[in-house]
């Protein structure tokens, strides 16, 4: 019991030397969750609207032909199909 009391006094009691502000930590978790939700909403909107419009746009058709978008899912990098890395300008 003395050990538990020591832990309480060191970490949990108000004004403890190694205490954590639980309210601040909870707030940080809430803010992080809020930004993650916003990021997910933006990514979903881009995936369902912006990216398909971009891929169908004739203005970018010639540029898009040079990239292997299936490779993106594998390693996160865009791989150019037509040229080796040393030949790119």
Domain definitions of the chain by residue range? 57-89
Contact 17, 24 (CB under 8 A): no
CA distances from 83 to 61, 66, 72, 74, 79 (A): 17, 8, 17, 20, 10
pTM, whole model, 2 decimals? Answer: 0.48
Q: Which two tokens stand for residue 12?
A: 């949990």
Q: Which one is predicted more confidently, 24 or 3? A: 3
Name every residue whose Cβ is closer than 8 Å to that of residue 55 and which is 6 or more positions away in sequence.
64
The whole-angstrom separation of Cα 79 and Cα 34 is: 34
How do residues 34-78 score in pLDDT, each as one tens digit? 999 999 999 999 999 998 998 899 998 888 888 777 776 565 554
- Residues in a beta bridge with 68: 79
């Amino acid at each position: 019991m003395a050990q538990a009391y020591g832990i309480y006094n060191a970490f949990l009691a108000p004004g403890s030397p190694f205490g954590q502000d639980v309210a601040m930590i909870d707030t940080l978790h809430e803010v992080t969750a809020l930004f993650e939700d916003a990021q997910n909403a933006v990514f979903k909107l881009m995936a369902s609207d912006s990216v398909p419009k971009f891929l169908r746009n004739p203005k970018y058709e010639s540029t898009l032909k040079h990239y292997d978008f299936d490779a993106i899912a594998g390693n996160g990098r865009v791989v150019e199909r037509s040229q080796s890395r040393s030949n790119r300008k």
